[in-house]
Amino acid sequence: MARSVTPQRKAFNTAAAWAVGLLIFFPILWTILTSFKTEAQAINDPPLFFFFDWTLENYAVVQERSDYMRFLWNSIAIAGGSTLLGILVAIPAAWSMAFVPSNRTKDILLWMLSTKMLPAVGVLYPIYLIFIRLGILDTRSGLIVVLMLCNLPIIVWMLYTYFKEIPGEILEAARMDGATLKEEILYVLTPMAIPGIASTLLLNVILAWNEAFWTLNLTAAKAAPLTAFIASYSSPEGLFYAKLSAASTMAIAPILILGWFSQKQLVRGLTFGAVK
Amino acid sequence: MATQHSRSAARLMMAPAVVLLLGWMLVPLTMTLFFSFKKYLPLRGGDLGWVGFDNYIRFIDSSAFWPSVQATLVIVGGVLAITVVLGVALALLLDQPMWGQGVVRILVIAPFFVMPTVSALVWKNMFMDPVNGLFAHLWKFFGAEPISWLSEASMQSIILIVSWQWLPFATLILLTAIQSLDSEQLEAAEMDGASPVARFGYIILPHLGRAITVVVLIQTIFLLSIFAEIFVTTQGSFGTRTLTYLIFQRVLESQNVGLGSAGGVYAIILANIVAAFLMRIVGKNLDA
């Protein structure tokens, strides 16, 4: 990466990249700005950029009228719960595939991945029916299970690729020293695997947080997370731009911050190791 | 070396994940297949018996089917073309030496983390609204008549929204691939007098080949089932009813489960064709 270029060239690159970057980021920036305007300023003609009376009123109103905290809590419980549960199920599986591979390991990995390719809409009614029969429609626990199953292949894959990078000799040494399987996992593997587990956790929380098929179709009032809360702004509340913006900003802010930390893992997690 | 003991332990540890995924795959799939051969209207008589391949034929025969296939292909194709072309360009740009590269990267990646319902609604109301949207202001500024985007140019609008969401993904993966390119190769070509165009065409693009394939395949799988973007914008009207949305309407809106399930089987077959190609690439990489 030590390519030397003229300062002019570098200045040109910088200007071009920043222009494109800001253009792509603009819708988010505009949403954040609008969330601090009054409703009248939000639809002012011509549009107001920075010079308006900044207000926090919209955030207060959104919370008061729609009980934002409940949706936020649902999102946190569903995204966090499904990811934690998925990781608990995936760690042993990924461990055994990475360290005790058999000639079927590759087939199993690919098969797991193939379940992720199943279009959700193809099984919408069966899942809907099962949810009704079990009485878990519009419950957090129902969604936690479904999103866990949706993301389980990605979780197993990510953990598998991370575990693969841990030298097997260390585990063998531990085994020679008489560590039981449990001790081996608990005291040797886990500390070394924590960075990989953390990135897996991060990316899958993001994926679950933004999931918008099952969360829209399997929830109503009680268990609806932020995806469904925002969808309820579709009409006619969506015409109140400032409030829509405040609600949107609150819905995306936590995940934007998490996302920026996870950008490196993103490539690995979403291409299943096909691009490094 | 693994002992017999650790092998059986390994199998035991794999069991929960395998059993769960097997159930998650087989149970709903079997039910979808089961319903697809039945006349099943939960709100109008319930299970009305077996009908053979009737649902499969009726799903294709319905006037909504081919337009929905077309809408799906146009959206998937449009978004792929835009994200791959712009993604390559953007990745090349971001790979150049510059000031504040980290910040620009963050700006570019950000849309990927915005939940689909938020990005669809923000675009719909704050940009594409014919009265108060930013585009309307921009059009008026240049003396043009504002366009009612989501009804007059519905497909273009959906493609724009979805491309905005997926461009970061394509860019990030292509950038990763470009950065793995051996820069000595490029320098050698440059010294031998290869023009920037030749360097791009003969070195960079071939190197990106696999990354582009991966981007295309993964995006296709996700794009085939976009839902929220249509759900909160056009609700499938103005020619934006995709196959996914059509099945959703048949199953949950008109509660014609048999018909919708037959559609679901078609969607599964379609996704599997794409998936088969992706799996081959991923599988090859596992061996390496």
Question: Looking at chain A, which residue has its C-alpha nearest residue B211?
Answer: A275
Owner of token pair 């337009």: B67
Residue A2's pLDDT band, with cuts at 50, 70 and 90, is very low
For B98, which of A10, A119, A149 is closest by C-beta distance? A10
pTM of the model: 0.88
For B4-49, write each residue's pLDDT tens digit: 677 788 888 889 999 999 999 999 999 999 999 988 888 887 788 8
The answer to whether position B17 is within a domain reads no
Q: Which residue has the higher pLDDT, A246 or A271?
A: A246
Residues A103 and A37 in one domain: no
Q: For all residues of chain B together, what is the average pLDDT?
A: 88
Burial of B96 (0-12, 13-18, 19+ CB in 10 A): middle
Residue A183: its pLDDT value, please? 84
Residue B80's domain comprises: 53-286
The answer to whether A250 touches A68, Cβ cutoff 8 Å, is yes
Burial of A229 (0-12, 13-18, 19+ CB in 10 A): buried
Q: Which residue has the higher pLDDT, A2 or B135?
A: B135
Instruction: Report the range of poorest mean pLDDT among A64-78, A229-243, B108-122, B135-149.
Output: A229-243
> Which residues in chain B have their CB less than 8 angstroms from residue A127's CB?
28
What is the rounded average pLDDT of the residues B72-93?
94
Q: How many domains does chain B have?
A: 1
Residues A86 and A188 in one domain: yes
Residue A238: its pLDDT value, please? 62
Owner of token pair 């014919």: B130
Euclidean distance between CA atoms A174 and B226, whole angstroms: 48
Q: What percent of chain A has pLDDT over 90?
A: 32
What is the rounded average pLDDT of the residues B83-94?
94
Q: How many domains does chain A have?
A: 2
The answer to whether position B208 is within a domain reads yes
> Which residues in chain A have their CB less than 8 angstroms from residue B25's CB?
115, 118
The answer to whether A149 touches B24, Cβ cutoff 8 Å, is yes
Residue B2: its pLDDT value, please? 54
Q: Which long-range contacts (CB under 8 A, 24 or more apart) does B204-213 make?
A: B204/B92, B204/B178, B205/B88, B207/B177, B207/B178, B207/B181, B208/B88, B208/B174, B208/B177, B208/B178, B210/A274, B210/A275, B210/B177, B210/B281, B211/A275, B211/B173, B211/B174, B211/B176, B211/B177, B212/B84, B212/B88, B212/B174, B213/B281
The answer to whether position A169 is within a domain reads yes
Residue A241: its pLDDT value, please? 87
Euclidean distance between CA atoms A151 and B190, whole angstroms: 45
Diameter over CA atoms, chain A:
75
Residues A51 and A91 in one domain: no
Residues A81 and A130 in one domain: yes
Residue A146: its pLDDT value, please? 94
> Which residues in chain B have their CB less than 8 angstroms from residue A100's CB?
2, 6-7, 9-10
For A151-201, write each residue's pLDDT tens digit: 999 899 889 888 888 887 887 888 888 888 788 878 887 788 888 888 889
Residues A15 and A101 in one domain: no
Does the beta carbon of B202 lie under 8 angstroms from any beta carbon of chain A? no
The answer to whether position A275 is within a domain reads no
Residues A85 and A217 in one domain: yes
Beta-carbon neighbour count of residue A221 at 10 Å? 9
The answer to whether position A266 is within a domain reads no
A83/chain B closest Cα distance in angstroms: 14
Q: What is the domain-level CATH number for residue A152?
A: 1.10.3720.10
Contacts with A39 (C-beta within 8 Å, 6 or more apart), sequence order:
A240, A241, A242, A243
Residues A93 and A215 in one domain: yes
The answer to whether position B57 is within a domain reads yes
Q: Tokens at residue B250, please?
A: 């048949």
For A12-27, write each residue's pLDDT tens digit: 999 999 999 999 999 9
For B217-258, write each residue's pLDDT tens digit: 888 888 988 898 999 888 888 888 999 999 999 988 888 999
The answer to whether position B14 is within a domain reads no
Residue A1: its pLDDT value, please? 44
Residues A48 and A79 in one domain: no
Residues A74 and A156 in one domain: yes
Does the beta carbon of B85 lie under 8 angstroms from any beta carbon of chain A? no
Residues A164 and A51 in one domain: no
Residue A54's domain comprises: 7-58
> Which residues in chain B have their CB less than 8 angstroms from residue A245's CB?
122, 126
B272-281 burial, b if ≥16 CB within 10 A, otherwise e?
eebbeebbeb
Q: Would you call A123 and B264 a contact, using CB atoms and an 8 Å cutoff?
A: yes
> Which residues in chain B have their CB less than 8 angstroms from residue A104's CB?
none
A111/chain B closest Cα distance in angstroms: 9
> Which residues in chain B have their CB less than 8 angstroms from residue A126's CB?
27-29, 31-32, 35
Residue B39 is inside which H or E element, if any? strand B38-41
Give the residues across from B258 on adjacent strands.
Answer: none
Chain B residues 217-246 with a CB less than 8 Å from chain A: 218, 221, 224-225, 227-228, 231-232, 244
Euclidean distance between CA atoms B270 and B127, whole angstroms: 34
The answer to whether position B30 is within a domain reads no
For B113, which of A5, A16, A255 is closest by C-beta distance? A255
**What is the CB-side half-sphere exposure of residue A58 using CA atoms within 13 A?**
27
What is the rounded average pLDDT of the residues A28-45?
88
Instruction: Report the range of poorest mean pLDDT among A1-15, A22-36, B49-63, B260-274.
Output: A1-15
Q: What is the ipTM of this complex?
A: 0.87
Instruction: Report the range of poorest mean pLDDT among A13-17, A49-53, B63-67.
Output: A49-53
pLDDT at residue B161 tops 70:
yes
Q: What is the domain-level CATH number for residue B162?
A: 1.10.3720.10
Query: Dihedral (C-alpha) A197, A201, A202, A207: value to the nearest 10 degrees?
Result: 140
For B10, which of A24, A46, A96 is closest by C-beta distance? A96
Q: Would you call A125 and B177 a contact, using CB atoms and an 8 Å cutoff?
A: no
Q: Would you call B271 and A102 a contact, using CB atoms and an 8 Å cutoff?
A: no
Q: Is B154 helix (H, G, I), strand (E, B) or coil?
A: helix
Residue A23: its pLDDT value, please? 95
Instruction: Please state at what angle helix A190-210 crosses helix A140-164, rounded to 10 degrees.
Output: 140
The answer to whether position A145 is within a domain reads yes
The answer to whether position A263 is within a domain reads no
For A98-127, write each residue's pLDDT tens digit: 888 888 888 898 888 888 888 888 888 899
The answer to whether position B37 is within a domain reads no
